Amino acid sequence: MTHMALEVKESLEDRCNRILRNMESSLTARDRVGIQDLVLLDAYTSETALLDNLRKRFHENLIYTYIGTLLVSLNPYKELDMYSKKQMDNYMGVNFFELPPHIYALADNVFRAMMSEYNNHFILISGESGAGKTEASKKILHYYAVSCPSTKILNDVRDRLLVSNPVLEAFGNAKTLKNDNSSRFGKYMDIQFEHQGGAVGGHILSYLLEKSRVVHQNHGERNFHIFYQLVEGGEEDLLRWLGLERNCQHYKYLFQGDCAKVSSINDKNDWKTVCKALSVIDFSKSETEHLFGIIASVLHLGNIKFEADARGYASLNHSQEIHWLSKLLGIPGQVLQHGLTHRKIEAKTEEVFSPFSVEHAMYARDALAKAVYGRTFNWLVNKINESLANMDSSRKTVIGLLDIYGFEVFNVNSFEQFCINYCNEKLQQLFIQLTLKSEQEEYETEGIEWEPVPYFNNKIICDLVEEKHRGIISLLDEECLRPGEASDFTLLEKMEEKIGGHPHFLTHKLADQKTRKTLKRGDFRLLHYAGDVTYCVVGFLDKNNDLLYKNGKEVMQQSNNGIIKYCFPPSEPDRKKRPETVVTQFKSSLAGLTEILSTKEAWYVRCIKPNDAKQPGRFDDVLVRHQVKYLGLMEHLRVRRAGFAYRRKYQAFLQRYKPLCPDTWPNWKGSAAEGVQILIKHLGYKPDEYKMGRSKIFIRHPRTLFATEDAFQVCKHKLATRIQAKYKGYRVKGDYQKQKEAATKIENCWRGLKARKEREKREWAVRIIKRFIKGFMTRNEPNGADNREYLAYVRQTYLTRLKENLPETVLQKDSWLTPPPIMKEASLFLKQLFIRHMVRKYVQGITEERKAQLLLKAQTSSMFKGKKENYAFSVCLPFVDTRIGIKDMNMKVLQMIQHENIKYSVPVVKYDRNGFRPRPRQLVFTREAAYLVEEAKIKQRIHYGSLKGVSVSNLSDNFLILHVTCDDIKQKGDLVLQCDFLFEALTKLTTIIDKSEVIRVVQGSVRFDIQPGREGVVDFRSGQESVVYRAKNGHLTVESTSTKSR
Ligand SMILES: Nc1ncnc2c1ncn2[C@@H]1O[C@H](COP(=O)(O)OP(=O)(O)O)[C@@H](O)[C@H]1O
Ligand SMILES: [Mg+2]
């Protein structure tokens, strides 16, 4: 999880609460666990108080304490449960004062400072050997590995960074009296971060490996771990291949210290770790083989024994080792053997080999072993660097970790301790320059009232060692290089001569009586900033020369072991040009380191060793007090206390915090200093919490700044919210306006569209109406452009209407829809068509009888329609075949006329010709004649041939007069009858005789023959009621009611 992610995840409020909780808990716990930051110590000038505080905390397993941002760390000598992933998460993104002091807090703050300021940093971890520097650096590295943002590629880098450590420790660390895992080389490691905070690469610089350890170890110390790891942990096959036995006691280079086995070290496990690590950092199989071949070779080399031959020269009798060396290094045995026993002397033009004495040979052998190991170590560092190299060339920021061997004092101190302690002097000098001195100088230049804190500046010691021409290094080099009989003792004399008067230098000769007792003749003593160290001068020249005989080098150049080949390149400069001495190389590499560090922001971890016995829970006051002193903690504390935790240029300070004050926000017009003054007044800074310098503000306590920073964070959120709100408002308003405009536009368009449509519709309507009117006006003109449509319309509507109003029956044939003029003709056709159609339908629907009936009716109609008044009433009365059935007729009559085929019989009233008396009779029509029948008598037979005509009136009476031809006087005359079924009877009659013209409809009076030559008259007239009577004039008067008036 990244820091950023954490910040996002945790709300500001949560954060404030957490901080408050932590502050409270640390306040209540203060008495018990001392003070977390020594700057807050009341008795800050008292070393005892500081010591008490450290002790109190140490006994509570609180090994970390701050002095401002400097971390003091005490070695607990036991595993503490405070390095878990959870702890790492706790410390992520947290300010120093928020949680109990921790190495993770420092690591995290460095990281965040790097991320926010985008610059380079380094963490200087100092303290004496065994104080916990290496552990601290590992914890920091681990913190970055776990907590930095990561990707799959970055994980790879992270793994390499992590595993490079055990490899380097295996080859460069050893058990010493001070520390079971003492770093015997200096290490500066750069971790490179890309802009998002992911670790993308690393680089290691190593400083002066203590090579002498390869061939010699003091009692109680060991050679480098890797030898023991190989012998103890190496697989059987491997050991067999390397010609090694699983027993350290077999190897001279391993048993001198007499402590090959150490309880705190598990060589077997470490071996596995190293082998695994090698594969992670890309060691090929052959590289691994060559590497272990070299380690084994060194062991074999150490076991070579020389014997003096007859002339006293060294000879190699036991060649077992030579055999293995030859195999592992790929150098012929003869060459090796010769190289180890002879030295090459160059005399003018020729080269001569001169045999070694035994002592010399041993020296040369050891020199070779050291050279081989030392160069292999450098190769290893290069190899690791290759694997850590970051290929991406974009800009990186780095955090450097400096874990260098600590100040060291043994019973016998030699050249190595001299170099190591010199290195520590230099780092102390750097520390002084970066903190105490520069701090105080800054106060002066800024014109801040300031009482200088006295501190011991170790420059005087640095000068004593490294000053050109006069310093110890110069003198040592001079002795090494000068011709003639130079020895360690001549060096001592020279030093006494040149620097004898220096207050930090002492020898047996220079010392007073009392001190002299503590010095041997071959010793010199340096009064280091961290204490006095007595060095034995023996071996200084040799070690400084680091002599490797040319012969030995040439032998190595023949090797076919890849690593040896690389380490001993054929082009190595000739020995004629002397290489730089060891100490000079070291001096310049330290100068280089100082340069590297001085371009970066420094952070410090000061490691303190609580006791010399590596025991947990033991706090040795004297020992700790001594370290507190030489580490300059008191001075640092005093400067911190007197000084200011934080400073910043007015401009920058104002720029960052101006939102916190309404007067300075958003813009301040005046000078930056005035602005800051107003700002901090608004923030309520107390006068003793800050000082105003020439160009910077100085804030005394971190908490003041933290409070300001927290306020800023809160305010930033508010501001951001406000700006966001404003911006959102602005955007929304803009959007709204746009939408509104768009809406109006759309509306306009829509309305326009609608209006246009409406107008078109109206125009269309007007056109249509006009056309309609015009059509209407011209409807009677011939079909033309003007009225075509109208007429079509008229036609259509008429036809539609007609369809709906067609007559339903034939009888309604007059109810035809009146057609418009243009349809008259068509309508007529249609009407005829339709009526014909109806008639047809009707006709098809009627039965034979009905047809017959109708034919009769039609005949009746043709005879009487419009002629006789009461005709109309008869139409609806159906005709029947006869009105008198056969059975109702007299049998006698029937017998008489039946043969003539009776067609029709009907009851009638016969009016006598004389007197016009009414008599009921039957009128029977046969095929031949009409008979008037009374009961059984046929009263009168009228042959149709003699029927002249039948008269009926035009009125509504039922009278008929049958006119007959009377030739004979006996013959009866015309018949005056009244018949209720007048129309039926007459129609039947005309049908029978097939002569309709016999019927005559008359008006007024009808004359009839009573007898031939004697006439009667019947007068027909309309009256109030139907009456028949004999009028006075002798006429028969038939009055009938007029149907017209009814
Ligand atoms: N923080 C720690 N927690 C537990 N043990 C520690 C811690 N720091 C140091 N030690 C112990 O002290 C020993 C020496 O520490 P180391 O870092 O190697 O010292 P230096 O590098 O200063 O010489 C370690 O091997 C370890 O056993
Ligand atoms: Mg170390």
What's 912's DSSP letter? P
What pLDDT does 656 receive? 82
Is residue 4 over pLDDT 60?
no
What would the mean pLDDT of 641-650 be, rounded to a whole number?
Answer: 76
The active-site residue out of 69, 182, 413, 551 is 182
Per-residue model confidence as pLDDT tens digits over 914-938? 888 999 999 999 999 999 999 888 9
The active-site residue out of 109, 129, 787, 954 is 129
To the query of whether residue 247 is one of the catalytic residues in this protein, the response is no
Token pair in block for residue 982: 């007048």
What pLDDT does 546 receive? 79
Is residue 644 over pLDDT 90?
no
To the query of whether residue 130 is one of the catalytic residues in this protein, the response is yes
Distances (CA, A) of 768 to 786, 796, 799: 11, 16, 21
Q: Under the phi-then-psi rule, with left for phi > 0, alpha for psi from -120 to 50, and beta for the rest, what region is 199?
A: beta
Residues 6+ apart with CB under 8 A from 336: 322, 325, 326, 329, 555
Centre of ligand 2 from the C-alpha of residue 236, in Å: 32
Per-residue model confidence as pLDDT tens digits over 839-860? 888 888 888 888 888 888 999 9
CB 964 within 8 A of CB 948: yes
Q: Report whether residue 417 contacts ligand 1, using a CB cutoff of 6 Å.
A: no
Greatest mean pLDDT among 32-36, 214-218, 343-347, 639-643 lies in 214-218
CB 207 within 8 A of CB 185: yes
What pLDDT does 128 receive? 86
What pLDDT does 848 receive? 87
Helix (H/G/I), strand (E/B), else coil: 423? helix
Confidence of residue 318 (pLDDT cuts 50, 70, 90): low
What pLDDT does 576 receive? 57
Is residue 70 over pLDDT 80?
yes
What pLDDT does 1 receive? 37
Amino acid letter at 88? M
Alpha-helix residue ranges (DSSP H) falling in 342-455: 358-388, 415-432, 438-446
Residue nearest to atom 25 of ligand 1 (CA): 181
To the query of whether residue 182 is one of the catalytic residues in this protein, the response is yes
- Sign of the Cα torsion 640, 641, 645, 648 reads negative
Closest ligand by atom to 104 CA: 1
The active-site residue out of 197, 233, 406, 552 is 406
Closest ligand by atom to 129 CA: 1
Residue nearest to atom 27 of ligand 1 (CA): 77
CA 506 vs. chain centroid, Å, equals: 71
Q: Report whether residue 183 contacts ligand 1, using a CB cutoff of 6 Å.
A: yes
Is residue 12 over pLDDT 60?
no
Helix (H/G/I), strand (E/B), else coil: 967? coil
Centre of ligand 1 from the C-alpha of residue 76, in Å: 8
What pLDDT does 24 receive? 43
Distance (Å, rounded) from C-alpha 801 to C-alpha 807?
Answer: 12
What pLDDT does 1046 receive? 42
Closest ligand by atom to 58 CA: 1
Per-residue model confidence as pLDDT tens digits over 701-746? 767 877 887 788 788 788 888 888 888 888 888 899 999 999 999 9
Q: Which atom of ligand 1 is nearest to the CA of 614?
A: 12
CA 1031 vs. chain centroid, Å, equals: 133
pTM of this prediction?
0.65
Mutate to test the pocket of ligand 1, among 58, 61, 75, 262 (most ligand atoms within 8 A of CB): 75
Q: Kindly report whether the peptide bond that precedes residue 610 is cis, defined as omega within 30 degrees of 0.
A: no
Is residue 5 over pLDDT 50?
no
Helix (H/G/I), strand (E/B), else coil: 619? coil
What pLDDT does 655 receive? 85
Confidence of residue 14 (pLDDT cuts 50, 70, 90): low
What pLDDT does 780 receive? 83
Centre of ligand 1 from the C-alpha of residue 663, in Å: 53
How much of the chain, in percent, has pLDDT values that exceed 90? 45
Q: Report whether residue 135 contacts ligand 1, using a CB cutoff of 6 Å.
A: yes
Per-residue model confidence as pLDDT tens digits over 450-484? 777 777 889 999 999 999 988 999 999 999 888 88
Give which of 97, 89, 82, 91 is closest to 30, Cα–Cα: 97
To the query of whether residue 183 is one of the catalytic residues in this protein, the response is yes
Mutate to test the pocket of ligand 1, among 61, 77, 168 (most ligand atoms within 8 A of CB): 77
Residue nearest to atom 16 of ligand 1 (CA): 132
Per-residue model confidence as pLDDT tens digits over 554-613? 899 999 999 999 999 887 555 556 678 899 999 999 999 999 998 898 999 999 999 999
To the query of whether residue 862 is one of the catalytic residues in this protein, the response is no
Is residue 23 over pLDDT 60?
no
CB 95 within 8 A of CB 109: yes
Helix (H/G/I), strand (E/B), else coil: 181? coil
